[in-house]
Structure 1
Amino acid sequence: MDPRIREHAEVIANHSVDLQPGDNVVIDAHPVAEDLVVALHEVAGDVGANPVTTSQRTGKRQQRAYLRAADGDFDTPAHEQALIEETDVYIAIRASDNVTQTSDVDPETSAAYQQAQRPILEERLSKRWCLTQYPAPANAQLAEMSTEAYENFVWDAVNKDWDAQRAHQANMVEIMDPAEEIRIVSGDTTDVTMSIDGNPTRNDYGEHNLPGGEVFTAPQPDSVEGEVLFDLPLYHQGREITDVYLEFEGGEVVSHSAGKNEEVLTEVLDTDDGARRLGELGIGMNRDIDQFTYNMLFDEKMGDTVHMAVGRAYDDTVGEGNVANDSAVHVDMIVDMSDDSFIEVDGEVVQEDGTFVFE
């Protein structure tokens, strides 16, 4: 086994989830990530934790079969809910043998399934949890990289000095945390303002998302005004969506379009009322993630980017007395801020063409 896999497992256990003796651990992984699953079992054995492995969340082949056979009317599965309720630590490992496995599942069916899974998602988020990536060949192919190059890319981004990354990002937290308003401008296609007054800014340095590399907060749901062109693509429900355009009035998406698979975007926005409002604003700050790979876990952390998510706001980014946007979905989309762009906080430019004022 590549020694970097064991190092990856130790970063998850020691840095991300603080694995303790007696912890009940669910490891949710595609079979292609077996080496990392084995390494995590070794670490769990060393610590005295109790691991069990499922592929409920990330086993896309069986999920495709189920969703294509189902009638589209779903209930929250009580036995799956019970498993997560009895869990102390939840570790999800992204990896795939076919990244477009669910591309022929009806978007309405996928949206209905997500709604039914929402109580389980909320329960997972109440635990110590980590979402990470195993460098599987299919993910390397999607990133247009050789398997070896992708392995190097993933483990360079994961197995790093997270204390140093935290200190770098703390500069931006210090700017944003007391702020009232943020404006994002990129070219002549993106000019959007939002209030973050009273909502704390969080420093993501590899605790829940591994790799980390962003600072993020929640906009006030009704405050978002303007337009955004997300000029980097994303994969959702096994489909590529490109050139997403959203126009906001009073916090709500009032107009939208996409260059490709617009119907998938429409289904996301129609999931529920909260899906038409922003739940997150994030600033990418991980300079070791230096290329786009069609993997939001990495892409949203790239330096020179901003991402916004329609849908659910994370509870720890909503201040006391403020409204948290509520939705069954949370879909991130990215704006390239490397050229002809700036971030303005309370009227002061804090990043221009990808460079922060403190760099």
Structure 2
Amino acid sequence: MDPRIREHAQIIADHSADISDGDNVVINAPAAAEELVVALHEECAERGANPVYMNNSSRASRAFLRNHDGEFETPDHLLAMYEEMDAYIAVRGDVNASETADVDPETNAAHRRAMQPVLEERLSKKWCLTQFPTAGNAQLAGMSTEGYENFVWDAVNLDWDEQYEFQQQMVEILDDADEVHIVAGDETDVTMSVAGNSTLNDKGEKNLPGGEVFTAPVKDSVNGEVHFDMPLYRQGREISGVRVRFEDGRVESYSAERNEEVLDGVFETDEGARYLGELGIGMNRAIDQFTYNMLFDEKMGDTVHMAVGSAYPETVGEENEENESAEHVDMILDMSEDSIIEVDGEVVQRNGTFVFKDDFE
């Protein structure tokens, strides 16, 4: 076994999921990630935890969604298992990243609505989402299998304490802020309030890799237009050239140059899917190229991402309304050129360089 796999498993067990003696642990992973699953079982055994392995098959998911007829019901048996667990580890790794490309977007949206109670229960426990480098994801990223393996291990097996200290400088700027203003090129000019909300420092705990700071906009405060110039890969399809116009927080109009119908399914899921739940700033410099994998792409340096749909409760202040939705869809814009982030009228990032870096101009 590649020693980096065991290192990854140890980081998950100690740093991310904090697996302890007696913990009931659910590991949800595809067969392609079996080596990491084996290493995680070793780590659970050493800590006296009780692992259960669920094989996550995109082919099986596709078969269910394409053949299902009628309303979806919340799977109470799955909910019961999550109620009994203490920690949840989800591992991604595709053999075919486009496996679910022919599932109807409306079917996906209906299924997500039915699964929302399960998702909420899972998110109430200790959890970690991570990636195993598979040939399918390497192909999607346009990389060799070996090159993608090196890319993944470099991004996830970081000194997370050092990364935390770097990111904390941006957290301190946003934590006391009122208004954030983002400008990029000629097509992005948007303002939002973050007053009263908390900014979190993602140091590779719930998401591995980490490498972002994120908060929630005040629900009705977002105004302006955004051109998300970096594509996203959702439901097996590439969505590119997304443009969104916000008025008083709500998405009032949108378009996409490719696969706009997938966006239709997102925004029609529920009313909360029409509002922003997250503003995030990527700060992981080990992620140095776009790979069509949001777990990595949203953390990339020189980027900002915004997610329509549910807000993370821990980012929403007591006096503010938490946006709720069965969706949480991140979209990214490039901030490396012709761009600024202003916080309360002061430029804190210009063309990807932060104000606390020596080369800020």
- Quick check: TM above 0.5? yes
Amino acid in structure 1 at the alignment position of 2:31 = P
What residue in structure 2 maps to residue 49 of structure 1?
49
What residue in structure 2 maps to residue 204 of structure 1?
202
Amino acid in structure 2 at the alignment position of 1:61 = R
Shift of 1:154: 0.3
SS at match of 2:317: coil
SS at match of 1:255: strand
Q: Is the alpha carbon distance of 1:43 and 1:20 closer, same or farther for their aligned partners in structure 2, counting shifts above 3 Å?
A: same
Distance 1:206 1:72 in 2: 40
Distance 1:19 1:54 in 2: 18
Shift of 1:215: 0.2
Amino acid in structure 1 at the alignment position of 2:247 = E
Q: How many residues align?
A: 357
What residue in structure 2 maps to residue 261 of structure 1?
259
What residue in structure 1 maps to residue 228 of structure 2?
230
Shift of 1:212: 0.2
Amino acid in structure 2 at the alignment position of 1:89 = A
What residue in structure 2 maps to residue 163 of structure 1?
161
Shift of 1:72: 4.5
Shift of 1:160: 1.1
1:118-141 residue CA offsets vs partner (Å, 9 max, x unmatched): 001000110000000000110000
What residue in structure 1 maps to residue 348 of structure 2?
350
What residue in structure 2 maps to residue 96 of structure 1?
94
What residue in structure 2 maps to residue 25 of structure 1?
25
- What is the percent sequence identity of the aligned residues? 67
SS at match of 1:122: helix
CA RMSD of aligned residues (A): 0.6
Q: Is the alpha carbon distance of 1:19 and 1:242 closer, same or farther for their aligned partners in structure 2, counting shifts above 3 Å?
A: same
What residue in structure 1 maps to residue 175 of structure 2?
177
1:319-346 residue CA offsets vs partner (Å, 9 max, x unmatched): 1121001100000000000000000000
1:248-285 residue CA offsets vs partner (Å, 9 max, x unmatched): 01111111000100010011011100000000000000
What residue in structure 1 maps to residue 320 of structure 2?
322
Shift of 1:303: 0.5
What residue in structure 2 maps to residue 75 of structure 1?
73
Distance 1:10 1:117 in 2: 30
What residue in structure 1 maps to residue 273 of structure 2?
275
Distance 2:264 2:224 in 1: 19
CA contact (8 A) 1:72 1:112 kept: no
What residue in structure 2 maps to residue 243 of structure 1?
241
What residue in structure 1 maps to residue 114 of structure 2?
116
Distance 1:6 1:182 in 2: 41
Distance 1:73 1:105 in 2: 16
Match of 1:139 among 137, 140, 144: 137
CA contact (8 A) 1:72 1:109 kept: no
1:337-358 residue CA offsets vs partner (Å, 9 max, x unmatched): 0000000000000000000000
What residue in structure 2 maps to residue 7 of structure 1?
7
What residue in structure 2 maps to residue 293 of structure 1?
291
Q: Any residues of structure 2 matched to 1:179-198 within 5 Å, and which?
A: 179-198=177-196
Distance 2:122 2:70 in 1: 24
SS at match of 2:72: coil
Shift of 1:22: 0.6
Distance 2:73 2:114 in 1: 5
Shift of 1:59: 1.8
Distance 1:238 1:121 in 2: 21
Shift of 1:37: 0.3
1:171-216 residue CA offsets vs partner (Å, 9 max, x unmatched): 0001000100101100001000000000000000001000000000
Distance 1:133 1:321 in 2: 36
Shift of 1:238: 1.1
SS at match of 2:81: helix
* TM norm structure 1: 0.99
Ranges in structure 2 where 5+ consecutive residues have no aligned partner: none
Amino acid in structure 2 at the alignment position of 1:338 = S
CA contact (8 A) 1:311 1:331 kept: yes
What residue in structure 2 maps to residue 34 of structure 1?
34
Amino acid in structure 2 at the alignment position of 1:329 = E
Ranges in structure 1 where 5+ consecutive residues have no aligned partner: none
The reply to whether residue 64 of structure 1 matches residue 62 of structure 2 is yes
Distance 1:166 1:333 in 2: 23
Shift of 1:241: 0.2
What residue in structure 1 maps to residue 218 of structure 2?
220
Amino acid in structure 1 at the alignment position of 2:125 = K
1:57-89 residue CA offsets vs partner (Å, 9 max, x unmatched): x42110000000001510101000001100100
